[in-house]
Structure 1
Amino acid sequence: MAGQRSYTASILKATIRKLDPREMIHNPVMFVVELGTAVVVWLTLIQKGAADRNYDLLVAIILFLTILFANFAEAFAEARGRAQADFLRRTKSSTRAKLLLPDGTTSWVDAPQLTKGAKVLVEAGDVIPGDGVVIEGVGSVDESAITGESAPVVKAADDGVTGGTVLLSDHLVIEITVNAGETFLDRMIALVEGAERQKTPNEIALSALLGVLTLIFVLVVVTLVPIARYFGPHAANITTMVALLVCLIPTTIGALLSAIGIAGMNRVSLVNVVAKSGRAVEAAGDIDTIILDKTGTITIGNRMATEFLPVPGVTQEELAEASLISSLADTTPEGRSVVELAQDILHIKELPQYEGEAVPFSAHTRMSGIDLADGRKIRKGAVSAIRDIVEDPPAELEQNAERVAKDGGTPLAVEMDGRALGIIRLKDIVKSGLKERFNDFRAMGIRTVMATGDNKITAAVIAQEAGVDDFIAEAKPEDKIALIKKEQSQGKLVAMTGDGTNDAPALAQADVGLAMNSGTMAAKEAGNMIDLDSNPTKLLDVVMVGKQLLITRGALTTFSISNDIAKYFAIIPAMFAAVPELSGLKALNIMGLKTPHGAILSALIFNALIIPALIPFAIRGVKYRAESADAMLARNIFNWGVLGVIIPFIAIWGIDHILGLFGLA
């Protein structure tokens, strides 16, 4: 309860603080409203007639409420971010660390005192005091405070850890890799708090447009003043002119523009993604091409051995035994799956022991294996690599490999002492639901490209099964950069994911680079977004959030400008209704508003109330649908354009009748 009161109090304080003209001047539309309010307040104080004073006072109150509602929208959006930042800040500030001293002893220090290169001992139950790398030990880490994922993650030597997470078991020795104030938690606090949020290019452009529109309407209203004076003081006074100006300038979008941007950043954090800037979120909404790794993104990632295909003259048992021996030292998921499949084929439960020297996989040779003590040498790896070291590769080796590839699997060749034994079929599974999501992107005009190190045949099968638009096979890091640059040279925005140091150049080159939290520091620094869940498919969610941000801003801008039409028909006829020479303007009073003052007050009240009414749309975002730009534009114009004209007509007419009941119209 106390927390709720504190939350409410912070919003109210921020709302009042933003009344400072030095704060308000950053929003030109609302700054003009504030100046207009000051003018009307001054007129109220010097007004002599009671009726005119009451009218001026009502206008001043409504204008002041308009400013308060605008400030409240921005303060509310900021408060949502600060609530999350406060939780993270408490986690950070309460952390203490066991600093390892040169003599092997430990000393308790506050986490902010740790510097880059310091080594700390973290035991079960301790909070990890800062970003770093495990240099000793293996332990289970609870990352839920950062990622929201309850399942613990096992960390071992060379794995990165994040400050604020909790070690659940065993102990770790961690080397701190950043100085105080530069940790991942610090960057996340700054992001979600939104205090230093920089406006995005589109937001700056829209603010400039709103400023220009405001200036134009100021000139229009100033021009109307001598015309009104010509017809006499009964035509219009300064208060009415201020009311006209406030109703004509785009106050609705001017009041909500900052809130939309802040809420967009917050929505990214809700999907457990940290954006380093609002520019990245906005760019995600304009993406033309998405480059996705196959393994772990489009497919589940753990290829499993499903079949042994021996060449003529070799039995399945011989191939299974050789595959088993060459995979005993292979701790990868696919290596373990080869061992398990071989055990099933050979009907053995206990793994046999073989003396020899394991040969680890090398990206250069593209194979691994074992050199046995009895002189036998067994290798398994890429078909082309095995073919090069086999003296006389049988045609069936290539035929089986091609058949596996055409079925969407990955062929792995096995040889022993220069003799080809056969093919291991590895199968990777396309993640469910991706094909539908790619169809949604296609409807939006976004092109999806799969990048994989597999051969062209396998890549083509997986690409067709997943439903991507294009693919590049046997891709190297430089191939991804080349593809990104090619797309960008055509004026397109490109997004991609990555987690390794070799992905860093491409992540830096892409307009939206989503780095995995489990990835290397180089990848995290190169990307402009970090996925806390380390789920490569999160890029699809980020694009959706970016699209929703742009659609929300466009929808509310359309609605705001459409509102001006109704407010124009409410005030202009009322201003000159009492002028005999302009009696023809009465025909413009299509809403049948009763009196000039009632019409003006009704339009102003609607102008003020529509701002808080639209705050939920600004915070949650306008509902997003996957469709083409033309269909989206048509729906936007109808829903927020046409309705943006109709709703004010009905609302102003209703408010005018309510005011009439109280004798104010």
Structure 2
Amino acid sequence: MSVLTAAQLGGALPGALRKLDPRELLATPVMLVVEVGAVVTTVLSVLDPSVLGWMVTVWLWLTVVFGTLAESVAEGRGKAQAASLRALQTETTAYRVVGEGAGARLEEVPSTALRVGDVVAVEAGQRIPGDGDVVEGVASVDESAVTGESAPVIRESGGDRSAVTGGTTVLSDRILVRISSEPGQSFVDRMIGLVEGSARQRTPNEIALDVLLATLTVVFVVVVGSLWVFADYSDATQPAVVLVALLVCLIPTTIGALLSAIGIAGMDRLVRRNVLAMSGRAVEAAGDVDVLLLDKTGTITFGNRRASELLPLDGVGAEDLARAAVASSLADETPEGRSIVELVDPARAGAAPGERVPAGAELVAFSASTRMSGIDLDGRRTRKGAASAVRAWVVESGGAVPAQLDDLVQDVSASGGTPLVVAERVGEEPARVLGVVHLKDVVKDGIVERFAEMRAMGIRTVMITGDNEVTARAIAAEAGVDDVLAEATPEDKLALIRAEQEGGRMVAMCGDGTNDAPALAQADVGVAMNTGTTAAKEAGNMVDLDSDPTKLIDVVEIGKQLLITRGALTTFSVANDVAKYFAILPAMFVVAFPELDALNVMRLSSPGSAIVSAVVFNALVIVALIPLALRGVRYRPASAESLLRRNLLVYGVGGLVAPFAGIKLLDLVVSLLPGL
């Protein structure tokens, strides 16, 4: 969002006016002070009308409205998404299972009557009435209304993909679901509250900044009060309207007005990525993460072993090995078998299995006993499989196994890959070994660059896997991961997180299984997959509705962007007050102390024009920064020192320069008004 449209402003204005209630502004003491000042100048302008008084009064009220408008616009951005989610909350008929065994029957009840522990039956075409876990059956489920992903997903009992979300639709088969949430407490309910801002809790960092802003406000109230006494003592008595204008311009109104909008927008960015944060604290913690724990399978790698290269033995042509490897994989629908065809003959890989297999061929299916698969065609028998199994088949047919095969198998294994040996027998001739197919758990595209970005942020990445140390180290080196926890158990994960935290580091991790629950609960940022178990989702403080483990990296970036945006606008807010000193203070005292005219570096037209121009700029800058507060300051991976340097150069210097130019331009316009 780069600009604010008239429709967005118009839609947010009623909410902004409602927030003028002083009880609403208690949460933002800076804006409460501005409103009190507006009330005071209104009363004074009624009792003693003047152009200066009414100009200051009008713009003080606009300052308060612009401040509440920022928060209202931020909340309004989630209204459309909340409306679509609320459509899932319509009353659903549920079929509750009553009784057990042969005497069980279905009872038709409204979804609002369901309670935790109830078991319901859901068939194809029916909507799941509430959040729960599949306890019997397997079905294809359409979750597009919640996740935005059009492809259906499989949900089944007894695994880590048993969780279902209320409001999603079963497309096939029949499942029994045990309800895990009370009405009004589902993930969709929480998401609606989150996007509308009503359930957003202020984070510790935000509360601390509020305390700082309140303290600065009190300090400047004392300062302005002291100036009033000083002015009276020096025979330069100032109208109360001028003192109120000075106070409003000196207190940090810009960040005070935008603080809530920044927090809401940060949460909104998470929701738009389909990540549901259980608390604002988790989002903020994500911005301070030092260590990122990532599961290997499905996160760093694709999870399925894929053919990466063919290694022919000496004396065997590469074409012969490729032909035999493809022939033995034509009917192999395992990920490994399909990857061999894709590697050698991508065009054929897209055909259906029946179309790929030549007429008259006899397929040899893989079995746990033989540990081989293959094809027999025109007197040629081709096999591929585990090295020991193929070796035994070759020897049994009278063939010899070259010593080079052992070297190739060991090289592939040492690199963290899996060797598949390919052999062939023609007619009654002895079988011969052709070569080795190197299978590897392929690292996802772009993951190396993502880890490099993490490293630039100062975040250490740790890959967690159940693989042996050799395999784990090989994959970690290829992916660019900083460290590895191999052969990991739930206890190992928990111990690693605690050790990192004891060292003063913030830890983030993701998981989807019950065995991940202890680590998710211990981590500062625990992202549970929506497809995972209820135990995992309850243990984490975020839930990824898309169940994409790599999104943990995006969560960290969003958290950092939130913190950087807040820091940048705070810097700008404090810096832009400097110009107002040069505008208002000379205007207040130049008559009594002509020497102060030297501070009028902007050469403003008159004291009245200077005061009004400063107040107008103070209000307009809030509106100008609303888009930046909602969009967030662009985050680039860098060290803390370089981020601070950029923050000071861009928003510190910018905050100093912009008001001088803005107030001068406004003065040229305001000075044309009569009475100033």
- State the TM-score bracket (shorter-chain normalisation): 0.7 to 0.9
Q: Which amino acid aligns with 2:95?
A: K
Which whole-Å CA distance do the structure 2 matches of 1:61 and 1:600 have between them? 13
The partner residue of 1:82 within 79, 82, 86 is: 79
2:662 corresponds to 1:659: no
- Partners of 1:540 and 1:382 in 2: CA distance: 39
Q: Quick one: structure 1 residues 350 and 71, their matched pair in 2 at CA, closer, same or farther if it must change by over 3 Å?
A: farther
Q: Is 1:65 the equivalent of 2:62?
A: yes
Q: CA deviation at 1:285?
A: 0.7
The corresponding residue for 1:14 is 15
Matched, 1:649 2:660: yes
Please tell me the residue identity of whatever aligns with 2:205: N
- Distance in 1, matches of 2:471 and 2:104, equals 53
Secondary structure in structure 2 of the residue aligned to 1:205: helix
Say if 1:405 and 1:411, in contact at 8 Å, map to a contact too: yes
Q: In 2 relative to 1, CA 429–29 (structure 1 residues): closer, same or farther, beyond 3 Å? A: same
Contact 2:465/2:486 (CA < 8 Å) preserved in 1? yes
Distance (Å, rounded) in 2 between the aligned partners of 1:265 and 1:161:
24
What residue in structure 2 maps to residue 263 of structure 1?
A: 265
Question: What corresponds to 1:501 in structure 2?
Answer: 514
Q: Distance in 1 between matches of 2:542 and 2:628?
A: 25
Alpha-carbon distance between aligned partners in 2 of 1:497 and 1:339, rounded to the nearest angstrom: 33
1:386-465 to 2 correspondences below 5 Å: 402-410=410-418, 426-465=439-478
C-alpha distance in structure 2 between counterparts of 1:396 and 1:506, whole Å: 45
Contact 1:289 1:492 in 2 (8 A): yes
Aligned: 1:491 with 2:514: no
Q: Which secondary structure does the structure 2 equivalent of 1:154 belong to?
A: strand
How far apart are 1:584 and its partner, in Å?
A: 1.2
Rate the CA distance shift 1:631–1:353 in 2: closer, same or farther, 3 A.
Answer: closer
- Matches of 1:382 and 1:114, distance apart in 2: 56
Q: Is the 8 A contact 1:235 1:578 kept in 2?
A: no
Q: Give the one of 290, 294, 297 matched to 1:295.
A: 297
* Aligned counterparts, 1:148-547, within 5 A: 148-158=148-158, 159-232=162-235, 235-304=237-306, 333=335, 402-410=410-418, 426-547=439-560
Residue of structure 2 equivalent to 1:141: 141
Cα offset, 1:397, TM superposition: 10
Of the structure 1 ranges 178-187 and 398-407, higher mean CA displacement relative to structure 2 is found in 398-407
Contact persistence 1:552–1:621 (CA under 8 A): yes
Cα distance in 2 for residues equivalent to 1:624 and 1:487: 26
Aligned equivalents of 1:382 and 1:7: distance in 2? 66
Give the letter for the 1:549 counterpart: L
Shift of 1:432: 0.8
1:556 maps to amino acid: L
Match of 1:603 in 2: 614
Q: Does 1:591 align with 2:592?
A: no
In structure 2, the CA distance between the partners of 1:229 and 1:188, relative to structure 1 (3 Å rule), is same
What letter corresponds to residue 25 of structure 1 in structure 2? Answer: L
Letter in 1 for 2:617: F
Alpha-carbon distance between aligned partners in 2 of 1:11 and 1:543, rounded to the nearest angstrom: 30
Residue deviations 1:384-432, cap 9 Å, x none? xxxxxxxxxxx9999666522443414699xxxxxxx999954111011
- CA contact under 8 A between 1:133 and 1:174: conserved in structure 2? yes
Opposite residue 602 of structure 2, the aligned amino acid is M
Q: Match of 1:550?
A: 563
Instruction: Letter of the 1:403 partner, please give it.
Output: D
Checking the alignment, whether the CA contact within 8 Å between 1:410 and 1:458 is kept in structure 2 is no
CA distance 1:560–1:308, shift in 2 (3 Å):
closer
| TM-fit CA distance, 1:93 | 2.3
| CA distance, structure 2, for counterparts of residue 337 and residue 500 of structure 1 | 28
* Shift in alpha-carbon separation, 1:398–1:559, aligned structure 2, 3 A: farther
Q: Percent identity?
A: 56
Change (3 A) 1:140 1:577: same
Question: Could you say which residue in structure 2 is the equivalent of 1:92?
Answer: 89
**Aligned CA distance change for structure 1 residues 401 and 484 (closer, same or farther; 3 Å):** farther
Residue 334 of structure 1 and its aligned partner are, at CA, apart by 5.8
**Structure 1 contact 100–106 (Cα < 8 Å) conserved:** yes
Displacement of 1:382: 13
Q: Does 1:577 align with 2:590?
A: yes
Aligned to 1:374: none
The change in CA–CA distance for 1:474 and 1:185 in structure 2 (over 3 A counts) is same
Decide whether the 8 Å contact of 1:141 with 1:165 is kept in 2: yes
Letter aligned with residue 577 of structure 1:
V
**How far is 1:554 from its partner?**
0.5
Partner letter of residue 193 of structure 2?
Answer: A
1:542, CA displacement in angstroms? Answer: 0.5
Give unpaired runs (5+ residues) of structure 1. 312-316, 360-367, 371-379, 384-394, 414-420
Task: Report whether the alignment pairs 1:566 with 2:579.
Answer: yes
Q: Deviations over 1:216-239 (max 9, x none)?
A: 11111111111111233x542211
SS at match of 1:61: helix
CA distance in 2, matches of 1:498, 1:58: 58
Change in 2 beyond 3 A, CA 1:456/1:104:
closer
Query: C-alpha distance in 1, partners of 2:599/2:537?
Result: 60
CA distance in 1, matches of 2:387, 2:261: 54
| RCO comparison, higher one (Cα < 8 Å, 6+) | 2
- 2:639 matches 1:628: yes
Whole-angstrom distance in 1 between the partners of 2:450 and 2:155: 33
- Supply the AA of the counterpart residue of 1:619: L
Corresponding letter in the other structure for 1:404: V
Corresponding residue SS for 1:257: helix
Q: Which amino acid aligns with 1:480?
A: K
Kept in 1, the 8 Å contact 2:606–2:671? The answer is no
User: In the aligned structure 2, how far is the partner of 1:140 from the partner of 1:490?
Assistant: 45
**How far apart, CA to CA, are the structure 1 residues paired with 2:584 and 2:342?**
81
Contact 1:93 1:111 in 2 (8 A): no
The code of the aligned residue for 2:266 comes to: G
1:120 alignment counterpart: 120
What are the Cα deviations for residues 464-486 of structure 1, in whole angstroms up to 9, with x where unaligned? 21112222222222222222112
The worse-fitting range, judged by mean Cα deviation, of 649-658 and 24-33 is 24-33
How far apart in 1 are the matches of 2:615 and 2:176?
A: 65
* 2-structure distance, mates of 1:526, 1:332: 34
TM-score (norm 2): 0.82
Structure 1 match to 2:40:
39
Query: Does 2:590 correspond to 1:612?
Result: no
- Alignment partner, residue 388 of structure 1: none
More displaced stretch, 77-86 vs 400-409: 400-409
- Offset at residue 98 of structure 1 (A): 2.9
Which residue type is aligned with residue 490 of structure 2? P
In structure 2, the CA distance between the partners of 1:10 and 1:401, relative to structure 1 (3 Å rule), is: same
Query: What is the distance in 1 between the residues matched to 2:7 and 2:633?
Result: 29
Residue identity matched to 1:202: N
CA contact 2:613–2:663 (8 Å) conserved in 1? yes
In structure 2, the CA distance between the partners of 1:95 and 1:664, relative to structure 1 (3 Å rule), is farther
Q: Do the aligned partners of 1:138 and 1:154 also contact (CA within 8 Å) in 2? A: yes
Aligned with 1:440: secondary structure?
helix
Does the residue aligned with 1:590 lie in a helix, a strand or coil? coil
The residue identity in structure 1 corresponding to 2:93 is R
CA distance in 2, matches of 1:348, 1:181: 61
DSSP 3-state at the match of 1:302: strand
